[in-house]
Amino acid sequence: MPITKQIHPLFLITAAIWLSVSLFVAGGVLYIEWIHNPQGEFHDITGINWGNWLPTGAILFVITGGPLPLIFLLLYLTLKVKICGCHKNNG
């Protein structure tokens, strides 16, 4: 028997916006680091130093709360949660 829960669609929209903001902040800081690149810390003629560059983006993603809506959206997809019609008038 599958697990079914009802959630309000606004909660899904909020989680998607929260995830988008977290990704935007982390991506923006990674872009600034890429442009600034003090003394070739993140990239130089030999290539990209992933060990210095990506942890900053990952830490900012976690600090801005990115994993919380990501976990929620993954649970939503895996548990087949139904979206309730709470906002609709049944009369």
Q: Model-level pTM greater than 0.85?
A: no
Range of the domain at 32: 6-83
Number of independent structural domains in the chain: 1
In this prediction, residue 28 carries a pLDDT of 93
pLDDT in tens, 51-63: 988 998 899 988 9
Q: Which helix (H) or strand (E) holds 47?
A: strand 47-48
In a domain, 54, yes or no: yes
Q: Is residue 63 part of a domain?
A: yes
Nearest to 66 by CA among 58, 77, 75, 76: 58
Give DSSP secondary structure letters for 2-24.
Answer: ----EE-HHHHHHHHHHHHHHHH
Instruction: Determine, yes or no, domain membership for 88.
Output: no
Q: What average pLDDT score do residues 77-84 get? A: 65
Say how far apart CA 12 and CA 19 lie, in whole Å.
Answer: 11
What digits encode the pLDDT tens for the residues 12-46? 788 888 888 999 999 999 999 999 988 889 999 89
Residues 6+ apart with CB under 8 A from 51: none
Average pLDDT over residues 62-80: 79
Residue 91 domain-assigned (yes or no): no
